[in-house]
A and B are shown apart, each in its own frame.
Chain A
């Protein structure tokens, strides 16, 4: 029997297969990890080894292939250019840290061995999501990612908060996905294509698209703002961040956010920032308002939080606001797109690190770490305290850390694009953010420990992940030249 008819994938050319290799590796890694995890006694360890080694392999493949020629697959559905391949590498890197972070934490929180496979499935979905320009395909990728993450959130089986968080996220996320799909169909109905570049061409050809197009774009925008957790669609975020096991929170805050934002940026650039269609400016105004509201709401509400994960979840809403500012500036300048990626990458690094440290001090099944519980920890564990400080300073955007470089790049490109009012809102609200980040540092180093002070939980994975993230945070904070140069080069 002819192989081609039996197994059509063989029809891919060699270079196409090469470009898909990391994706294959991750998918196979997920399957192997699933199988390895069935071992009754050492399942978690085997699953970890599988997931870890396949991710490392995929990272090497991705890094090796980064400059291979651009390739478009499946009739233009998937595009692998150096830019998307770099985004994929970043996602795989986050997944790697996520996997390392889970090691040890899985036993403590009673997470099943399948968590490793789920991380890899989610990663595969993310890779597809940032590589595609096809709205329907994007929906499928979104669902691959989201379904895996829903399960991960609900996986702390002995914790009612985790179940609540999982259910909340699942129902609301399902609604958002439905909105996305419905919006996609309306856009297709109006302009006759799912392909973002074709849609843009069609839009530029007609300055007055039909009304259902605007309804469709509105629905898609709402769905994406939900996924990135922007005001006013942020309601699920604090509960989910708190309820999920901390390693899952870290992975969500880094990788899911990264992916969702890249997808939102693509959609915005092709469907919303079209200067030939004047009515689209209402969506731009909406993004502006959502950015400002996210910064103000996230930062001011975070002040009054006494639980660390909950505080960080509100701060994440504020960071979404800053990112939306960068997104909005993309309307005027291409450079903002690069700054956006940079900021997302740096933010994800410090986010991963901060949650890694939190997981080191959380007891089994604990919902959240109360701020009183970290009193004096910095003095008791100087190294971990310093690492946590680095991550917090990075989120606050203080020099020496990559967060400052990210913020500098994002705001400066927004100023270049002429968005000075929004930048001023951003810097003033980030002074507010400095207050609550400092509050944590104050508790770490300047308060005496009490009997309530959390105990150090020995977790190898989380410590390694924290060190990795801290090293990257400091490195990119002091020597950002290479990565900025690189992103600029591949963006061309």
Chain B
């Protein structure tokens, strides 16, 4: 693992360079800042594409590492690298960003206040997200993990809805509780690393080789094992972000209050930080503890699926419905990760991407409707399909992706998860499968209330269909929905070797029937 390229560093910090450019832009050009953001996100997509083609799919380990000594005294380095697990998430971030910018382009006369501040926060947010996915040092991971909070805090708090302050403070505090306990666990791991090797080393590859004592013979010994507490500290931080029931209450507030672009980033990428953390740190570093508690997390995942679906079903606010559908869909990932099955691990990774696409798309649709009709109440729409056919088609595609119709991307993720979970306990799949049905019910209900049925409003004459930018955004998402749906190998093939090795090593560690 030598330093071979600075490409990853470019991906992480190029948004910041653009942010500097935006900061220096004189106020006379304030109207062009959105274009600058679009250029920046497209540049990110280009870099990600270059990355994708340079990525060697036959190699399981980390690639393209870039190491800069940062705080060698404390065993902390700037170390970034990519493997088959980070790659799809980087691609997701890189392609969702331009889509989010295109899809939320403010109409003439509806420009946001403080546009400069807004775009700088958007760019800052991307740096944080790329950094979290690419960091290969535990300190660096934590650093970016926390940095993501700052722009999101402002995006919700300054440009959000009526209850934005409550929502944004809640979002920030929830995340902080988890991450500070994670910080204590990081201290402990670095301490053990220093005791083992003489010097502390926070790189993931080094930490993975450490063994933390775990004795699963009785609850008492489990509670006395350091691995248990390390795992729980990390898991708490990550499941709050996922969010797993019962730590999900920040999510509907944050989503409903956030501006559309914030919701898109939140749903498409930020929630994945949690599941990515579980997949990258909590499970492989503490496999025995994770395995010991797997039933609990699967149960919570299943509860999340059903509870989220029922909550979504009961909503009259369209945005809240999509937010609760996120709780439900993220539940599948929890089930998949803690099933400890090869196929379910892969399914979880796919589901992260797929949920990013479908939830991002649905939030964009909510945004289109809100911008045109200034309401999100489902009963105040109705019969829009005749007036805005293109939007109706786009909405339908996102709905199908969300309900995991075979042929759409959603199916590619949920099916392997359920298949893997079935091998563990068919009982869970019975309940999780109910969630799939409920998912179809609420998604189609939303579609029906908005697009079909009689028209309930009289002010629809001025309602215009999607404009070019919005159409482009939806086309990009549609390509991914059906592309992944029909040719999953093409999109996820480069992750196969990594996933294979990843699940093998974990399943070997916990043994065929557990420790």
Contact = CB atoms under 8 A, between A and B. Distances in A.
B150 A393 contact: yes
A446 B142 CA distance: 27
Interface string B141-177: 0111011011001100110000011001100110011
A438 B180 contact: no
Interface in A422-438: 423-424, 427-428, 430-431, 434-435, 438
Interface class of chain A by DSSP: helix
Contacts of A431: 173, 176-177, 180
Interface of B: 69-74, 114, 117, 139, 142-144, 146-147, 149-150, 153-154, 157-158, 164-165, 168-169, 172-173, 176-177, 180-181, 183-184, 186-188, 190-191, 194
A409 B74 contact: yes
A442 interface: yes
Contact of B74 (A415, A438, A484): A484
A379 B114 contact: yes
Given A428-B180, A438-B169, A442-B165, A412 B71 contact: no
B397 to A, nearest CB: 36
B184 A446 contact: no
Question: Chain A, interface size: which category?
Answer: 20 to 34
A435 B70 contact: no
A423 B187 contact: yes
B164 A446 contact: yes
A400 interface: yes
Interface in A391-423: 393, 398-400, 404, 408-409, 411-412, 415-416, 420, 423
A485 B143 contact: no
A180 B176 CA distance: 41
B253 to A, nearest CB: 15
A50 to B, nearest CB: 39
17 contacts: A399-B144, A415-B184, A416-B191, A420-B184, A424-B181, A427-B183, A427-B184, A434-B172, A438-B153, A438-B172, A441-B153, A445-B154, A446-B157, A446-B164, A481-B69, A484-B71, A484-B73
A411 B158 CA distance: 33
A393 B72 CA distance: 25
A491 to B, nearest CB: 11
Contacts of A423: 184, 187
Contacts of A488: 73
A431 B72 CA distance: 28
Nearest to B142: A399
Contact of A445 (B158, B187, B188, B194): B158
Contacts of A480: 71
A382 interface: yes
A382 B116 CA distance: 11
A186 to B, nearest CB: 39
A382 B172 CA distance: 22
Contact of A412 (B146, B180, B187): B187
Contacts of A484: 71, 73-74
Contact of A400 (B71, B117, B147, B188): B147
Contacts of A485: 73
Given A431-B176, A434-B173, 6 more contacts: A393-B150, A400-B147, A415-B191, A427-B181, A427-B184, A484-B73
A217 to B, nearest CB: 31
8 closest A-B pairs by CB:
A415-B187, A427-B180, A412-B187, A446-B157, A399-B146, A399-B143, A416-B191, A431-B176
